[in-house]
A and B are shown apart, each in its own frame.
Chain A
């Protein structure tokens, strides 16, 4: 079988909850070793796409493979074997709140390997050192700031040296310094581990400075893709509005509603 340069291959993927369509006809190719961002406004289906890639949701149509294996058709045992090679950083870290920072990072290593405690200790310290939190190993998650919690979660996500790392909104709610630190860590970890990275975000400038390639989504569809420079210069009105943070454009600020005047008049008529 020829070596496939694409770690993730998505073709005409559809997903809906009952009648509500979330993703429509999405196609993507994520090459090995690259840092790729999936960008778009809130609710455009970015996080759903990550869950489909991780096998936590099943698509309603289309094709999705990771490392040449069709994810929706995998039995649970194969899916778990695949997930051991995937690290995922959740939006708010999802640290286990009843155990310390050290134990959080050690958790996947202890569950999946039979390494002696001395080696686990060294591995955990290395991971924590990489995110600058070796000194926080004894703290509980409740004692960490948002940025620190995200870094600990990052250390846990890469604890088993995954070949695919997925980040779900890693910059949300962070101050500019933490955002810069997390951004640098994402790039460094991708290069140092030789991993493929998928970054879901709506922080445009931070992501465009960081990634190799961008897929731009809106309303459950891929509306543009290209290198960061191509995205910056894109003429597509949705991408232009998003990249330049314009309030007015094809992406509406207001949720669909009847005309404001008519609604006010109806209220008065009812009074």
Chain B
């Protein structure tokens, strides 16, 4: 029995050691990424190309998801609010839910699974097929040329996608609440205008999505660059990108929310 206990404690210690070691590698990698980020801005077309691949190509899934989430919020919100005779506050409820929480969080989760996984796969496969090594031998730094533009492309895309997500979600709520159910259109928009504060609600949502963008993009490029250069290795890296991103987003959301909205 004590042997089993010792081996369990040793296993736990080993796992924790691995986690901290990887966190250390990721931190070092992040520093290197920042150091070689100059090219991403001096040759901004490299970053624009990545914004197209990560951001623009994620638009469809973002817009469709946000429309449905907005419509569900409209339905559920109306059903609950009308019990208390506050159906006119539907606009406020939909807008606050989306700008403060659902917009940044769900957009980041979708971004991690749609763009994050493909960033990891692309970098991992470039490593497995020696493309990164070939680039390095051509005296072209792969972190500056490939990794940093993908990272900044993701970071810059994320707030734009989250803002669009919230806007289309609000439209979905409007569609259900006003067009189909018949909530007063004037009350829907005017109450929203009165209750949603730009700095407090919208700006904090944008800051959240920016932080999520940094986290997801860093995880995606790190996992790709650190992938074991085999089919199984790349597959495991993609899985880690999706799982670690989702957990990081949710944990960061709690931390950011507790700082931003603790006065409420």
Taking beta carbons and an 8 Å cutoff, which residues of A are in contact with B? 54, 56, 79-81, 83-84, 86, 88, 90-92, 94-97, 107-108, 111-112
Contact = CB atoms under 8 A, between A and B. Distances in A.
Contacts of B141: 80
A96 B131 contact: yes
A94 B129 CA distance: 6
A84 B131 contact: no
Contact of A90 (B130, B140, B145): B130
A162 B137 CA distance: 12
Contacts of B139: 79-81, 83-84, 112
Nearest to B136: A56
Interface string B124-140: 00000111011011111
B130 A92 contact: yes
Contact of A88 (B131, B137, B140, B145): B137
Contacts of B145: 111
A111 B138 contact: yes
Contact of A56 (B131, B133, B138, B140): B133
Contact of B134 (A81, A94, A111, A112): A94
Contact of B129 (A56, A81, A92): A92
B131 A107 contact: no
A269 to B, nearest CB: 27
Contacts of B138: 83-84, 107-108, 111-112
Could you say which of B137, B140, B141 has the most chain A C-beta atoms within 10 Å of its C-beta?
B137
B137 A97 contact: no
Given A56-B137, A90-B130, A91-B130, 18 more contacts: A56-B133, A56-B136, A81-B139, A83-B137, A84-B139, A88-B137, A90-B134, A92-B129, A92-B130, A94-B130, A94-B131, A95-B131, A96-B131, A97-B129, A107-B138, A108-B138, A111-B138, A111-B145
Interface in B98-155: 129-131, 133-134, 136-141, 145
Given A81-B139, A84-B139, A111-B140, A97 B133 contact: no
Could you say which of A54, A84, A90, A91 has the most chain B C-beta atoms within 10 Å of its C-beta?
A90
Interface residues of B, number: 12
B131 A108 contact: no
A81 B141 CA distance: 12
B195 to A, nearest CB: 47
A90 to B, nearest CB: 5
Contacts of B133: 56, 90, 94
A88 B140 CA distance: 13
A90 B131 CA distance: 9
Nearest to B125: A97
Nearest to A111: B140
Contacts of B129: 92, 94, 97
Nearest to B129: A94
A233 B22 CA distance: 53
20 contacts: A56-B137, A79-B139, A80-B139, A81-B139, A83-B137, A84-B138, A84-B139, A86-B137, A88-B134, A88-B137, A90-B134, A91-B130, A95-B131, A97-B129, A107-B138, A108-B140, A111-B138, A111-B145, A112-B138, A112-B140
Contact of A54 (B130, B131, B137): B137
B136 A97 contact: no
Nearest to B145: A111
Contacts of B134: 88, 90, 94
Contacts of B140: 108, 111-112
B180 to A, nearest CB: 45
B131 A97 contact: yes
A95 B130 CA distance: 9
Nearest to B134: A94
A92 B129 CA distance: 8
User: Sorted from nearest, which 10 A-B pairs have the closest CB atoms?
Assistant: A94-B134, A83-B139, A80-B139, A94-B130, A88-B137, A84-B139, A108-B138, A90-B130, A111-B140, A94-B131
